[in-house]
Structure 1
């Protein structure tokens, strides 16, 4: 085999232009396919490894009696979020391992001593302390806030690594203060790099964006009437009494995503029974007048229902595979031309005793070598393509554009495999050359 690889390298140097063209053709096809495949692969990752079957979004059919929230045939659909009063009631009932209300708003962020002119808009996530343990959010410094902070709505915050870098130069900022709008918050935690993809726990349309800049207790948002109507989605079957935040809290508008963590099927069954009893109690109070439709949706079920992953991704992957096929067919033609030009050499080798099998192995090794070169170059081009995509689509998380070890190993293996497969015919044709027909040209 060492001799065959030596012959392959000599052949590569004898026809550098044609051999390089074959390698580049393979590399371009591999790069286009693996760039698209990497993004599609990262979009379909398990967001919280090991917890996909224990995290559930609670959905209740609290919509108005006149018209369903949404129906598909005879199936009645329910909102992905709850009213404030339902979220509070379920949280206080404490029937799950973790309770994670999700809301948010935007405000101006700066250090207390800085002038207002340097403040920058920050996206704030309001939630509970369970958020960080339920979703495996890694902490670089500090911890999540206490249960007491959840109950009292204390002005404490966990900030992202990016915010910590911008405001505190990446240093341990626990105990420092930040200003959000008119309120001052004490930093008690700093998130580490958190490649959670897709970001399933909030708005489905933002599933592939970076986590928010600041996290505060849900009760803190409620007590201080912090609200951004154009950021936090909400829907109402009956308008609130007025435009105040207090009226929103008392209304039948749904706007709180509410996730729970349930350890096993028994706990899930018990929670479903609890939800049924809760809805029955609310019916006595004049609410929930529609058909009872209680749902516990896993992250995958929620993202699928909300169409967070577009079919365009699969179409793009299919088109890239077609492009790869076209490149490989072109490389097959180039290999045919390359091996045809070596007919005299093949005839001479056959005349001095080389068998067809040995000739076949020799040129198979040469296709493997070109596949290796094509795979390495394709890997470089694919990484370049991902870098360009991350700069063009800056609203998407940069973690989507990163190759993991699986992709790094898969790319050259695919290049070698497809180059060998599509090189079988040219190699077979080369091994069938009869020596007598070529010796006169030597």
Structure 2
């Protein structure tokens, strides 16, 4: 085999233009396909490895009796979020391993010593301390807040790695303070880089953006009436009594995502029974007058239901595969021309004793070499394509445009495999050349 690779390298140098054209053709097709495939692959990753079947979004059919929240044919759908009172009742009942309310707002962030002119808009996530353990959110410095902070609504915060880098140059900022709007918060934790994809726990339309800048206890948001109506989605079948935050809390408006962690099937069944009992109790109080449609959705089910991953991704992947096929057909034609030009050499090898099988192996090795070169070049071009995509689609997380080890290994293997597959015809025809047809011209 070493001899055959030596012959393949000599052949490559003898026809550098044609060989390079074959390599580039393969590389361009591989790059286009792997760029698209990488983005689609990263979008479909399991967001919290090992917890795909233990995290659930609680959904209840609390909508008004006059009209369904949403219906598709005969199927009635339920909101993805809960009213504040339902979330609070379920949280206080303490029937799950973890309880994670999810909401948020935006405010101006600065250091207490900085003037207001240096404040920057920050996106704030309000949740519970269980958020960090249930969702495997890594803490680099400090820790999550305490259970008392959840209950009392203390002004404490866990900041993201990006915020810590911008405001504290990446140093340990635990114990420092930040100002959000008119309120000052003590930093008790700094998150490490957390490339969670997709970011399933909040708004589905933002599933591929970075985590928010600051995390605070949910009760802190409630006690200080912190609200951004143009950021936090909410829907109402009956308008609140007035425009105040207190009226929103007491209303039938749904706006709080509520996740629970249930370790096994028995816990899930018990929680489903608890939800049924809870809805029946609320019915007795005049609420939940529609059909009971309690639902526990896994992260994957929630993202699919909210169509967070567009079908356009699959269309783009299909088009890129068609482009790869076109490139491979072109490379087949180029290989035919390359091997046809070596007909006299093949005839001479056959005349001195080389078998058809040996000639077949020789040129198969040459297609492997060109496929390997094409795969490596395609890998570099794919990385360039992902870099360009990250600059064009800046609203998406840059971690989407990242090839993991699986893709890094798979790309050259795919390139070699398809080049060999589409090189079979040229190689077969080259191995069938008879010595007598070529020796007169030698």
2:429 paired residue number: 429
1:378 paired residue number: 378
Structure 1 runs of 4+ with >3 Å offset: none
Distance in 1 (CA, whole Å) between partners of 2:12 and 2:38 is 31
Distance in 2 (CA, whole Å) between partners of 1:163 and 1:172 is 12
2:317 paired residue number: 317
Distance in 2 (CA, whole Å) between partners of 1:142 and 1:394 is 30
Q: Does 1:151 align with 2:169?
A: no
Deviations 1:195-221 (A, max 9, x none): 110000000000000000000000000
SS in 1 for 2:20: helix
Distance in 1 (CA, whole Å) between partners of 2:376 and 2:77 is 49
Q: Give the drift of 1:160.
A: 0.3
SS in 2 for 1:64: coil
1:160 paired residue number: 160
Distance in 2 (CA, whole Å) between partners of 1:74 and 1:7 is 68
Distance in 2 (CA, whole Å) between partners of 1:11 and 1:387 is 35
Distance in 1 (CA, whole Å) between partners of 2:274 and 2:65 is 23
Distance in 1 (CA, whole Å) between partners of 2:73 and 2:290 is 16
Q: Give the drift of 1:441.
A: 1.5
2:327 paired residue number: 327
SS in 1 for 2:57: strand
1:394 paired residue number: 394
Distance in 1 (CA, whole Å) between partners of 2:10 and 2:72 is 66
1:400-419 pair list within 5 angstroms: 400-419=400-419
Distance in 1 (CA, whole Å) between partners of 2:59 and 2:320 is 38
SS in 2 for 1:21: helix
2:102 paired residue number: 102
SS in 2 for 1:215: strand
2:342 paired residue number: 342
SS in 2 for 1:102: strand
Distance in 2 (CA, whole Å) between partners of 1:140 and 1:223 is 28
Distance in 2 (CA, whole Å) between partners of 1:283 and 1:289 is 6
Deviations 1:236-291 (A, max 9, x none): 00000111100000000000000000011110000001001111111111110111
SS in 2 for 1:71: strand
2:122 paired residue number: 122
Q: Does 1:52 align with 2:52?
A: yes
Distance in 1 (CA, whole Å) between partners of 2:135 and 2:158 is 15
Q: Give the drift of 1:116.
A: 0.6
| Unmatched tracts of structure 2, length 5 or more | none
TM-score, normalization by structure 1? 1.00
1:70 paired residue number: 70
1:355 paired residue number: 355
Distance in 1 (CA, whole Å) between partners of 2:234 and 2:351 is 82
Q: Give the drift of 1:73.
A: 2.1
1:287 paired residue number: 287
Aligned residues: 442
Q: Give the drift of 1:76.
A: 1.2
Distance in 2 (CA, whole Å) between partners of 1:186 and 1:395 is 29
Distance in 1 (CA, whole Å) between partners of 2:361 and 2:310 is 45
Deviations 1:43-98 (A, max 9, x none): 00000000000000000000000000011222211000000000000000000000
Distance in 2 (CA, whole Å) between partners of 1:169 and 1:148 is 30
| Unmatched tracts of structure 1, length 5 or more | none
1:252 paired residue number: 252
1:25 paired residue number: 25
SS in 2 for 1:370: helix
Distance in 2 (CA, whole Å) between partners of 1:61 and 1:361 is 67
Distance in 1 (CA, whole Å) between partners of 2:430 and 2:52 is 53
1:195-234 pair list within 5 angstroms: 195-234=195-234
Q: Give the drift of 1:399.
A: 0.7
1:85-100 pair list within 5 angstroms: 85-100=85-100
Distance in 1 (CA, whole Å) between partners of 2:243 and 2:183 is 22
SS in 2 for 1:88: helix
Distance in 2 (CA, whole Å) between partners of 1:212 and 1:245 is 22
